[in-house]
Amino acid sequence: MDGVGRSRRRLVGLLARTAAAAAALPAAACGGPAETQAPAAPTAPRASSGASGRARGASGRRPLLLGTYTSAEGGGRGVGLAEYDPATGRITGSGLLAEVDDPSYLAVHPDGRTLYAVNEGEDGAVSAVRLSDHRVLGSRSTGGAAPCHLSVHPGGRWLFSANYGSGSVAVHPLDASGALGERTGLVTHSTPPPGPGQRGPHAHQVVTAPDGAHVLAVDLGTDTVYTYRLDEGAGTLVEVSRARTRPGAGPRHLAFHPGGRHAYVANEVDNTVAVCAYDPGTGRLAVGEPQSTGAPPGGGTGTNYPAQILVTSDGAYAFLANRGHDSVTRYAVEAEGARLRLLGTVPAGGDFPRQIAFSPDGGLLFAANQRSGTVSTFRVSAGDGGLRRTGEPFASPVAVCALPL
């Protein structure tokens, strides 16, 4: 057997073992809300958003799933599969999990058995892939255009997706095997009117709040974060409140503090972040004053385009990906989540870091650099949340999402 064949067999076996081990652990959403329990003396800050939130040992190599644009020049063939060493951060291997179209954002079911990917095309869809054998379990229409984000409800019965092109949010049921059912809900952000420079709504993220009863959708086009109550019987969303950012802010992503009463919004258009107060009882979000990203406009782009924001599960630090500045900003989280203090930025190690994610134990941070087609890895300091590059970036075609398991 040649080296490529051996590498693929090793990756398949590693992914199957990871899925089996994850199924035996308590359910936790990947890419979902922050944990509300206090972490038990972690060796490094553990992830609360953009990671599974499961605390695992750092021994043995782990799977790394890679999202891309298959329709882009030089793009990948589908969801990529590599592996990383939790001790060193080194990424190796190069394989293919499944051939699906434009899988630009990825999330894993709480039981660890099934991967979900958006299919970011004009006729938007979401796809499910069984991790143990790479079988595609099917795809379903999102009822909108260009879905760019998805997340699984912590209960494991519902998948939410955000249609950027049409400014809508879809709900799909999930059966016991992890397969997708026909869409049960679709809400479109028809009001308020689009913000300055926008032609319509652009839903950019949809995530369940730590209380589990509310679902928040961040819309860049309308400068609004919508809060919905999930009807778990019908699989539908009912709007309960709206939180407006300042006109032209262009909110893109938010992340919750593990205490569940504060969230942080990254504003793509005006290059700011904002601390938000959150009421778990009502689902109401109140957006605070804009703050600096610590990053000037990127060279030749006219703006910095901040992307994803993450919070460590001990609630001590927050990190923000800056695409124009090609950096990652670090904040200290203070006053039990009510305040962010800018600490500085570090180079992302690549061009246009579109997405960042923590390893399950929170000891590593991965940055997917879209334009350079690379994934950078950083060691997260347990003492001060500092980021230290672990080695050379890993080459991956049009890397727009890196999901460590």
Max distance between CA atoms of the chain, in angstroms, equals 60
Cβ neighbours for 167, distance < 8 A, ≥ 6 positions apart:
144, 188, 189, 200, 201, 202, 203, 219, 221, 222
Output 93 or 370, whichever has higher pLDDT.
Answer: 370
pLDDT at 303: 80
Lowest mean pLDDT among 45-49, 88-92, 162-166: 45-49
* Residues 195-213 pLDDT 10s: 999 999 999 999 999 999 9
* Beta strands 214-219; 203-208: pairing state: antiparallel
Q: Which residue has the tokens 């652990």?
A: 25
Q: In Å, what is the CA distance from 303 to each residue of 200, 218, 307?
A: 21, 20, 12
Please, which residues have CB within 8 angstroms of residue 208's CB and are 6 or more apart in sequence?
Answer: 29, 32, 33, 151, 153, 154, 160, 214, 215, 216, 230
What is the gyration radius of the CA atoms in the chain, in angstroms?
19
Q: Which residues of 77-111 are buried (b: 16+ CB within 10 A; e: fewer)?
A: ebbbbbbbbbeebebebbbebbebbbbbbbbbbbb
Q: What are phi and psi of 288, to 5 degrees?
A: -85, -170
pLDDT of residue 18: 65
pLDDT at 20: 61
| pLDDT for 103 | 98
Q: What's the one-letter identity of residue 162?
A: A
Q: What is the pLDDT of residues 298-356, one digit of tens each?
A: 555 568 999 999 999 899 999 999 999 999 999 999 999 999 999 999 999 999 999 99
Q: Which residues pair with 320 in a beta bridge?
A: 309, 329
* pLDDT of 37 above 50: no
- CA 258, CA 308: separation in Å to the nearest integer? 17
Contact 48, 37 (CB under 8 A): no
Q: What's the pLDDT band for 38 if we cut at 50, 70, 90?
A: very low
* CA 272/CA 309 separation, integer angstroms: 11
d(CA 249, CA 224): 9
